[in-house]
Structure 1
Amino acid sequence: MSRLLLSGVAASALLLAGGTGARAQSAAPAAAAAGPDDISLDTITVAATLTEERAIDTLAAVSVVRADDLQQLSPDRVQDVFFGMPGTTVIQNGNSPQASINIRGLQDFGRVAVFVDGARQNFTQLGHGSGAGSFFLEPGLLSDVDVVRGPVSNIYGSGAIGGVVAFRTKDAADIIKPGQAWGVEGTGEFGSNGPMGYGSLFGAARVGQNVDLFFGGTYRAQADYDDGNGDLVPGSGYDTWTGIAKATFRPADFHEVKITGINYNADYTTYNAALVNGEVPASSTQYGSTVLNQTVTASYNYSNPDDMWFDWRSSVYWNRVKQDQVKVAGTPSSITGSIGDPRTFTIDTVGFDANNTSRFLLGSVKNAVTIGGDYFHDTVDNIDQYGFGEGYNPNGERGVGGAFVQWKANYSTWLEAIGAVRYDTYNLEGDGVSTDGQRFSPKITLGVTPWQWVTVYGTYAEGYRAPAITETLVSGAHPPNIPLVFCPDGSYGVFCFVPNPNLRPEVGKNAEVGVNLRFDDILVKGDKFRAKANLYQNNVDDFIELVGYNMTMYGTYADYQYQNIAKARLEGFEFESNYDAGAWFAGFNATVSNGEDVDNGEPLANVMPNTVAATLGVRTLENKLTLSVRWQWVAAKTLEDLPSDSPYGATPSFNLVNAYLGYQPSENVLASLSIENLLNEQYTQYQQFLPSAGITVKGGLKIRFGADVIAAATPAPIFK
């Protein structure tokens, strides 16, 4: 840790001396910013504590992505949304829209809790070292994203020992301007590499003062792209369709009911093998895949600024992910079946969460007490009658829930304290196995603001993750029907998966220190500089990994089982900053991280490479024209950085440069041009086996229009 501390302090000093930083987060849109007075870097978030506060003021590692960030990022895939974000990586292979999020070296099986409009995403389709916790989402539906790194976010629910990612999709307020009765927004985009095309159409209507309606959909088509060497990457094409509808009702002042429905459909061909001479090996299995992701949520919120005792938020949700696959190529085998054989992976998740915040003064101390609870239930129903897909992904049910209380106190303007405790419980059943567990997890944070421009904070927080169905129940011979070893269930194969009903939950124990910096009027009147830096160490007790044991005479393991290793230690340094002067903006981010198995000293396979990212942009022509350039350097992942049994290979370092040009002649029209991988870098991201796309040029046009509300004292007569 001492080496990491020294490198972190040195990096922090260097960055602060430079004075500018990376993601121009929440910088004002091109046409909206009339000048420095309109700059808005201080976006509001509830991600860290479930109470509203500026992101820069949160005593936690919080990053936000807002609508104007999304516009400049021009995301085609979920991983594009997180370009340059410290401590956060999305694993998304080129031949699948399936995405998994890694935060601070933790991923899979719910270690990072992912929510879409409050609905938890728990899909798992495990193969050879991949798919152990993923989701499907169209970035064209997004309005904003909040990310909290570390188990400080345990108020969001069980499992989030790595962090929380909360996606919010578009709503009526994103389409209808104040004073309008209805609005329509359409977007068209075309890209060179593939090629690719995207279109969306959203509409919203305000019925009276108390009802908002929103609906729309997207279509995206991507043909196989070329990598940086100009070679076609087979299977990298896909088609996605989405539909979304929302209805918001305000039955009384300060009360709001919202009902949301989202339908996502994707078609693609996927495989799990590296290319050989630019081709998929003939023996490799390829699956024609269709994914249907359906989400329904209903929420009720009450928030009255004059009511100090009740500030209520609640929601219920249902999410189903169904992936239908048919083998379309590859050698027949007992693992994957024959060409034409189908298999299906389905998970249904139902859940709820509710919390209330009460505020009161106690002497000169402002207090906010939040009490809440949440629960979700997973039902896994997988079918593979011809291969081992159901063996990798056993059927079962799991219920996970908990309750928490959080106290947040502010004394004057210089001292803030947060204390919380969460109770978690779970039960898991399947294949004759039943297991359960429970635990209390504490959190304490103290922040000091000696001057208005700086806040220093320290946090200790614990998180609790219940074992997943796959980790507990996976069983059977693999590959089956090859008589090398015999398994407890009577099957035989090269080795055996052995279930583990005694698997203990993981417990993350995170210590973190951080600093928040705020400076105004530095170079010109109205400019703003914001920065967040932190050092963390997360000790995960009973860390769960797949372990081989019982060596055979052939020098291979006879059995594989998910087991608890004594302790995993993850530590790192993160820096995120942005500067905005209206006419120009800049940013700088950095991530330094490592992790090890404390028992044997070997590195952990899921720790991502170190990164540095920067942004530089200008606004001109009365802020109608915005030009920005984003750069990200990703360090190499060498064999020394990997455990001896790592399922992933080493990867070299690479640089990515993306450019964006947006012209907004009026508030209702935006023309954009973006260039991704400007240097045409040939690279393969860590934990992925396909090279990423080479240089890609995209052009887009967004048009919005609507009708103003016509106010009248009395209705006009129909007939005169």
Structure 2
Amino acid sequence: MKPTHTLGVCLSLLPLLTAHANETGLDPVTVTGTRAPTDLSRAPLIIDVLDRSDAALATASSVEDVLSRQPGLHVAGQGRRNGQTLSMRGFGRNGVLVRLDGVRQDISTGHVGNFFLDPALIQEVQIARGALSSLYGSNAMGGVVSFTSVEARDLLAPGEDSGVRLSVGGATANDELRGNLTAFGRRDTANGQVDGLFSVGRSKSGDIRRAGGDKAEEDARLNSLLLKGGWEPSNDHRLFISWQHYDESTTQPANPQQLSSSASNPLRDRDVESNNVQLGHRWQPGSATEITSQLTFSQQDIDEPQASRTLDRVGLQSDGYHSMEHGWFSQTLVFGAELEQARQRPDGQANGFPKADIDTQAAYLDTTLTAGNYLSEGGVGQFDVGIGARYDRYDASGQNDADSVHDQVSPRFRLAWRPNDALMLFSGYAEAFRAPSLSELYANERHFAGFCAGPFFCTPDNYWIPNPNLSPETSHTWESGVVWHQGDWQVRASYFDTRADDFIDTQVDIMAGTTQAVNVQRAQLWGYDARVTWQPRAFPLLSSFVGLSEVSGKDRDSGDALGSQTPLEMTLGNEIALYNSGVRIGWQGRFAQSFDKQGDDERLPGYGLHDIHMAWQLTPAIDTSLRLANLGDKEWYRPDGSLGDGRSLFATLNWQW
């Protein structure tokens, strides 16, 4: 893919927009992709935020439903929850960190994904793009996707201290029916305020209709549970506990990322169970300081006939920030430390999932200094200088194999200039890494059976060969951009250039009968992201959005294209509120140029997708959300060649009392 567009395209929008704007009008949005609450207009990176009012999240039953229309982000698979993985900024599933309430979700087991969550229990999703290992450690090479579950305060009506919410819904593409019952409340006691939430959900679905009418075979039943509680003995302290349970039973192809079953990919029963437990304390003496510490336990268990895979993870982490004023300049410190033990345990004939352990220790510190005065105040502008680094050490061990011990320092430097409150230009450098998975380090069982292609040509059985000497994948990224907000408009755009080393690839030698993970590639990835938001003050019930993204990549040695690339894509959206905001109607479109299929000479066609949605507050207690995705049932493909989602009507009805 040729890099035919640059940041200049995005910057060229500024003079056009300036003619229509002269004062700040858009509401501020707070994001946490920098580890400290930050106004989106001051965040030196591209962050997108979804909350429960968004039609995609309000009606979703899977991660694909939530994220499939986000600019520059692709959800691989064929719609099955078990097969969904992400690609972003040229990195696939192992280079994009997924977090659920602050806990990483990165089980690695063949073609099964790592999203074990019910969107009905999610309050917010933040998508931070870029090299973020300096704050988040391993896997955060292309970005971080953080899911935050709902709390009692998110659902309580004004003036109420308790409530019950019943939600029912479904989707036509997979004949899904789902329901969720949530009870929540808070109470002031002599020892402080307590709050709690209890939610149970269940859904049942069948074969999944993909783009163009093809079917992905499946029979799925999902049970979910969320328990959350908190106690605030004073305004400064909060103790909290939570348990998220996910249990999905399915009949689906052995490889859930393929469209249909076959002799080599037969249907099988699969049960996936996930538990995430947290016990924590938050200390917040004021808006300038916060420290959150938590003890976490997570377990993912994948059971199939004659085989099972279990990953147990115990962690202790503490994260915080502190802002200070030093007279003529201010400073914000972000800091944290993590300890984690992960244990991988196979049973039966589990393939590519060896018995192995990994212990991780990490600490990070980041500081941002702000000084200067705006041009209108007689200064040369306000400057932010940021510098930080994170140290990670991991010690992996596998049965009868050598230990793999590595440490990694991930630095980050950035500079931002604001001539006034409406405009910010930023640039920075960051290094990121991805530690090899336990499967890549220590898999040693049979990969697949040998076969005969003719009477005189047979191949032997193929076996995994451990490689405890694997090095971590690393990357070096420069990123520069602009944030501009004034009047009715907001623009955010950045251009990035990444040099990645030691990509981990799987080499299969058919005749030798071996499969091994090796460090092979040196890559270059480059591209841009841009967002434009318009909310006219003359008609505040209307809002519009444009997203633009493109990622290109090549092998630095051979010059061949590589990576989970993104074709030139544009996402457009409009929403209008009617009847005192009681009804919201919107449209979203996603358009892409034709592009080369990953790892293939095939050219895949471009596409134009259209979604429409409506949210209606029927009464103070009853509301409904509808979304019709892929209105024209357009046949379209993702960069990896998998079919996108087909036409489907999503519906949710909520009754709260």
Task: Please give the TM-score of this superposition, normalised by the length of structure 2.
Answer: 0.89
| Aligned 8 A contact 1:650 1:686 in 2 | no
Counting only pairs closer than 5 Å after superposition, residues 523-538 of structure 1 correspond to structure 2 as 528-538=488-498
Following superposition, the deviation at residue 237 of structure 1 comes to: 4.0
| Matched residue, 1:687 | 640
> Which of the pair is proportionally richer in strand?
2
Name the CA distance, whole Å, in 2 between partners of 1:698 and 1:360.
Answer: 47
- 3-state SS, counterpart of residue 68 of structure 1: coil
Name the CA distance, whole Å, in 2 between partners of 1:536 and 1:161.
Answer: 12
Residue type of the partner of 2:339? Y
Name the CA distance, whole Å, in 2 between partners of 1:656 and 1:15.
Answer: 24
Counting only pairs closer than 5 Å after superposition, residues 43-442 of structure 1 correspond to structure 2 as 43-48=29-34, 50-70=35-55, 74-109=59-94, 111-126=95-110, 130-131=111-112, 134-208=114-188, 210-231=193-214, 233-271=215-253, 280-305=261-286, 311-326=290-305, 342-385=306-349, 389-390=350-351, 392-412=352-372, 414-433=382-401, 434-442=403-411
- 3-state SS, counterpart of residue 497 of structure 2: strand
Following superposition, the deviation at residue 466 of structure 1 comes to: 1.8
Residue type of the partner of 1:429? S
User: Would the alpha carbon gap of residues 344 and 588 (structure 1) be closer, same or farther in structure 2, given more than 3 Å must change?
Assistant: same
| Matched residue, 1:594 | 552
| Aligned 8 A contact 1:661 1:673 in 2 | yes
Name the CA distance, whole Å, in 1 between partners of 2:234 and 2:81.
Answer: 45
1:583 matches 2:544: no
| Matched residue, 2:379 | none
Name the CA distance, whole Å, in 1 between partners of 2:140 and 2:623.
Answer: 38
Name the CA distance, whole Å, in 1 between partners of 2:217 and 2:295.
Answer: 37
Following superposition, the deviation at residue 146 of structure 1 comes to: 1.3
Name the CA distance, whole Å, in 1 between partners of 2:549 and 2:42.
Answer: 21
Residue type of the partner of 2:239? V
User: Would the alpha carbon gap of residues 61 and 313 (structure 1) be closer, same or farther in structure 2, given more than 3 Å must change?
Assistant: same
- 3-state SS, counterpart of residue 135 of structure 1: coil
Residue type of the partner of 2:107? F
Counting only pairs closer than 5 Å after superposition, residues 413-492 of structure 1 correspond to structure 2 as 414-433=382-401, 434-480=403-449
Following superposition, the deviation at residue 59 of structure 1 comes to: 0.8
| Aligned 8 A contact 2:129 2:143 in 1 | yes
Name the CA distance, whole Å, in 2 between partners of 1:38 and 1:258.
Answer: 38
| Matched residue, 2:527 | 572
Following superposition, the deviation at residue 695 of structure 1 comes to: 2.3
Output one character per residue of 1:623-664: Cα deviation in whole Å (capped at 9) or x when no partner. Answer: 21110001112343425x5368xxxx7643222211111221
User: Would the alpha carbon gap of residues 188 and 344 (structure 1) be closer, same or farther in structure 2, given more than 3 Å must change?
Assistant: same
- Match among 469, 472, 476 for residue 505 of structure 1: 472
Among all aligned residue pairs of Structure 1 and Structure 2, give the percentage whose two residues are the same amino acid: 20
User: Would the alpha carbon gap of residues 673 and 572 (structure 1) be closer, same or farther in structure 2, given more than 3 Å must change?
Assistant: same
Following superposition, the deviation at residue 15 of structure 1 comes to: 5.3
User: Would the alpha carbon gap of residues 17 and 697 (structure 1) be closer, same or farther in structure 2, given more than 3 Å must change?
Assistant: farther
- 3-state SS, counterpart of residue 6 of structure 2: helix
Name the CA distance, whole Å, in 1 between partners of 2:65 and 2:56.
Answer: 11
Residue type of the partner of 1:158? S
Output one character per residue of 1:389-416: Cα deviation in whole Å (capped at 9) or x when no partner. Answer: 43x2222011122111111111146211
Residue type of the partner of 2:528? F
| Aligned 8 A contact 2:571 2:590 in 1 | yes
Residue type of the partner of 2:136? Y
Following superposition, the deviation at residue 206 of structure 1 comes to: 0.8
Name the CA distance, whole Å, in 1 between partners of 2:555 and 2:499.
Answer: 10
**193-202 vs 162-171, greater mean Cα deviation:** 193-202
Following superposition, the deviation at residue 535 of structure 1 comes to: 0.4
Name the CA distance, whole Å, in 2 between partners of 1:19 and 1:77.
Answer: 37
| Aligned 8 A contact 2:299 2:313 in 1 | yes
**172-181 vs 38-47, greater mean Cα deviation:** 38-47
Output one character per residue of 1:530-557: Cα deviation in whole Å (capped at 9) or x when no partner. Answer: 22101001112222112346xx7xxx56
- 3-state SS, counterpart of residue 7 of structure 1: coil
1:613 matches 2:571: yes
- 3-state SS, counterpart of residue 132 of structure 2: helix
Output one character per residue of 1:162-211: Cα deviation in whole Å (capped at 9) or x when no partner. Answer: 22111001110111134322011221114333422121111111121510
1:672 matches 2:657: no
Name the CA distance, whole Å, in 2 between partners of 1:379 and 1:454.
Answer: 48
Name the CA distance, whole Å, in 2 between partners of 1:321 and 1:275.
Answer: 19
- 3-state SS, counterpart of residue 346 of structure 2: coil
Residue type of the partner of 2:114? S
Residue type of the partner of 1:614? L
Name the CA distance, whole Å, in 1 between partners of 2:650 and 2:446.
Answer: 48
Counting only pairs closer than 5 Å after superposition, residues 554-565 of structure 1 correspond to structure 2 as 558-565=513-520
Residue type of the partner of 1:218? G
Name the CA distance, whole Å, in 2 between partners of 1:688 and 1:141.
Answer: 31
The alignment of Structure 1 onto Structure 2 pairs a total of residues equal to 633
| Matched residue, 2:650 | 698
1:653 matches 2:614: no
| Aligned 8 A contact 2:542 2:575 in 1 | yes
Name the CA distance, whole Å, in 2 between partners of 1:595 and 1:379.
Answer: 35
Following superposition, the deviation at residue 367 of structure 1 comes to: 0.8
| Aligned 8 A contact 1:96 1:270 in 2 | no
Name the CA distance, whole Å, in 1 between partners of 2:143 and 2:653.
Answer: 35
User: Would the alpha carbon gap of residues 275 and 532 (structure 1) be closer, same or farther in structure 2, given more than 3 Å must change?
Assistant: closer
Name the CA distance, whole Å, in 2 between partners of 1:283 and 1:665.
Answer: 51
| Aligned 8 A contact 1:93 1:688 in 2 | no
| Aligned 8 A contact 1:471 1:562 in 2 | yes
| Aligned 8 A contact 1:186 1:200 in 2 | yes
Name the CA distance, whole Å, in 1 between partners of 2:133 and 2:517.
Answer: 26
| Aligned 8 A contact 1:605 1:643 in 2 | no
